[in-house]
Amino acid sequence: MIIDWMAFLIVFGAALGSAVFVVALYSLGIRFLATPPPPVRRADGTFEPGGPSRDDEDDDVDDIGRPRWATFAANLCFGLSGLAVLIGIFLIVPVLHFW
């Protein structure tokens, strides 16, 4: 029996690359969820030490204080990493190849 080493290296590289891609997307999503609220500048030019004061007019942040773009980016990263996992499962399981 002869081993096709080039095919083995291609499969190894694809598996390593896709694993790095999925982990990086998921980690980036977690990082976006940890984005702090923007600091609020007082009238005298200094920043509030404990973060922004909460009021009902903060429409650019969600209820936790994170910017809405960070929440959207986190959900996008989680969705893309989940999609990559589903594509990998589709490629591995032959029963799913119905066409």
CA 76 to chain centre: 6
Q: What is the pLDDT along the chain (99 residues), one digit of tens a residue?
A: 899 999 999 999 999 999 999 999 999 999 999 887 777 777 787 776 655 555 555 555 555 678 889 999 999 999 999 999 999 999 899 888 887
* CA–CA separation, 85 and 18 (whole Å): 9
Does the pTM surpass 0.75? The reply is no
Query: CA-CA distances (angstroms) from residue 4 to 9, 16, 36, 61?
Result: 9, 19, 51, 55
